[in-house]
A and B are shown apart, each in its own frame.
Chain A
């Protein structure tokens, strides 16, 4: 694994280090504070017990005189189990000991550390922990009093505390490192999963790979989800591009071959300037058809890749449909067909983002022209705009009473260059409905082809996939 080679380079290692350092610093502060607190509290307790005894003896001195004091000291020091580790010295001004179990010494006042008067009563390893904390004071008549306490308990306590602190720190450190490694490993594994998939996609070009989700809805799942939807998008775009290039390869080769053959014929067979002129005229027409087809393909591709959203704005659907009816009614009439429109007034495009009215006009124009092209003379094409109801958005219906499309073919007609056998001879490049589908998808229009008994009925339902944020009144007026 690469992170073993240069572990200091990985983010996870740095995270681990940061985690461990933080734990150690915080732990150190905590333990240090605890040590200081316990130590000072215990020392204070010890001081207090010594001072209390001094006060007690001073009181005795005041009430009963030095004899009383000496009596108490003698009693205490001669007890079979002396008051645990207390030592006394009552020393006369001339330097001799009146009572107590400490050797005579030069008088002093205040706190002082003293060696133990007797050695060897304790095991060897405890020796160093013993020591006296002594308070020297003067009573009346120059009498010197010392009360001392063995700090063995304190030292033992301190040692235990330090031991447990050290153990705690060691455990914390171990936990920090282990936790860090664990976290790194978890991060690493999730990241490796993403990196591996990315690498595979890069190397194999297989865009259908997806990062597996854990299903626990964590940040990695979110990230993976985003990457997956990005991959999906790239895949569909790539598929679109591939589709377009395939289409171009397959369906443009035929007219190009025809163009070439015609030019070749002209070169070898033309006998007059007029022949050449005709050939050139035809070649130009043929190129125009090709250019139109390529233009249509590019336009579809552009719409499909959602690049045209920039042109979105509010759209008055009623106006759009009326324009189509008004524009194509004379065309239909000239072709011996009838175009009728039933248009609900003041219907606007639902949803916040609006639409591209140029594209919507193009879409409807293609559908109406399709109706004109694939119906016999005398047919009627009905274009209607119905307002939104409570359950659906507004819808546009283009219906004719021509031969219709067999149910099995209804989805296929949206494919590029797909043409029904029956319509091979009519004009058109087989891209009109592909463009309709692309515009519909861009506007999230739900498009259905139904049987009109007889004929074809194309239903365009707006705001299909999303729940439309509209309230529909009975007469269908939209209140956005």
Chain B
């Protein structure tokens, strides 16, 4: 799970990202990783300089450490939010308690990642957040290749053939469709599809995805749901 992403698909990556992190090595790691993905990254080493940058420039995403010298991460994000900014915020924290996560999300964060984290997990969450901001309107139909999900009629079909899904499988497919082309990690699926942050010791996500995949991909020439080894899944129409 903490392994280096291999064969990670490169998407449409040109986000402007502000990383506010006081630990130099972590900040460099993040910046380096995201730059390799084609993003444009600025690092601020403390809360006050981070706030100054965040208030004066427009970014597609802020990555903010909870504990910062000067101004702490929560106050920083609250200040920026008070000015009416809707920039997506990803909190980083060494505090892994659920309470801390809730506090972070209530305090204006859009997602929360606790240290230590895998590089692949960071990339997946960063790119999911960047995409979320640009989505804007909510579509009533999600489609990739010949797979079509009608959110109003609650039907799924592939190549015109209807597919019957259990509620959990439906939620999984919907989440993958909404993030089509992006890598979605298992913990993202647990958080969003199960709506809870539990840590299964068994292959819960794999089992449910493989059952859903059987219905969606089996018997059709092209596999839409791809496994990204050691990271998660990616729904896309081809390599």
Asked whether A and B interact, the reply is: yes
Residue contact B197 to A358, C-beta cutoff 8 Å = yes
Instruction: Of the listed stretches B27-35, B91-99, B141-149, name the one at the interface; the rest are far from the partner chain.
Output: B91-99
Residue contact A362 to B96, C-beta cutoff 8 Å = no
A291-B198 contact, Cβ under 8 Å, with A307-B97, A327-B168, A331-B204: no
Q: Chain A residues near B202: list those with CB within 8 A.
A: 328, 331, 335, 369, 372-373
Give the secondary structure class of A's interface: helix
Q: With the chains together, A324 CA to B26 CA distance in Å?
A: 37
Q: With the chains together, A281 CA to B4 CA distance in Å?
A: 9
Complex interface residues of chain A between 155 and 208 (CB less than 8 A to chain B): none
Residue B102 at the chain A interface, CB threshold 8 Å: yes
Q: Chain A residues near B203: list those with CB within 8 A.
A: 331, 334
CB distance from B105 to the nearest CB of A (A): 12
Residue contact A334 to B97, C-beta cutoff 8 Å = no
A284-B2 contact, Cβ under 8 Å, with A323-B194, A326-B168, A358-B98: yes
Q: Chain A residues near B168: list those with CB within 8 A.
A: 326-327
Q: With the chains together, A361 CA to B1 CA distance in Å?
A: 22
Q: With the chains together, A285 CA to B1 CA distance in Å?
A: 8
Q: Chain A residues near B208: list those with CB within 8 A.
A: 327, 330
Q: With the chains together, A362 CA to B211 CA distance in Å?
A: 23
Residue contact B98 to A284, C-beta cutoff 8 Å = no
Residue A365 at the chain B interface, CB threshold 8 Å: yes
Residue A452 at the chain B interface, CB threshold 8 Å: no
CB distance from A241 to the nearest CB of B (A): 16
Q: With the chains together, A236 CA to B234 CA distance in Å?
A: 47
Residue A288 at the chain B interface, CB threshold 8 Å: yes
A327-B204 contact, Cβ under 8 Å, with A356-B98, A358-B98: yes
Residue A60 at the chain B interface, CB threshold 8 Å: no
Complex interface residues of chain A between 328 and 346 (CB less than 8 A to chain B): 328, 330-331, 334-335
Q: With the chains together, A330 CA to B207 CA distance in Å?
A: 7
Complex interface residues of chain B between 149 and 173 (CB less than 8 A to chain A): 168
Q: Chain B residues near A362: list those with CB within 8 A.
A: 198-199
Residue B201 at the chain A interface, CB threshold 8 Å: yes
Residue B84 at the chain A interface, CB threshold 8 Å: no
- List residues of chain A with CB under 8 Å of any chain B CB: 281, 284-285, 287-288, 291, 295-296, 298-299, 302, 307-308, 310-311, 323, 326-328, 330-331, 334-335, 356-359, 361-362, 365-366, 369, 372-373, 427-428, 432
A-B contact pairs, 20 of them (CB 8 A): A284-B3, A288-B2, A295-B96, A296-B199, A308-B99, A311-B98, A311-B102, A323-B196, A327-B168, A327-B194, A327-B208, A330-B211, A331-B207, A357-B196, A358-B196, A358-B198, A361-B196, A361-B198, A362-B199, A365-B201
- List residues of chain B with CB under 8 Å of any chain A CB: 1-4, 96-99, 102, 116, 168, 194, 196-204, 207-208, 211
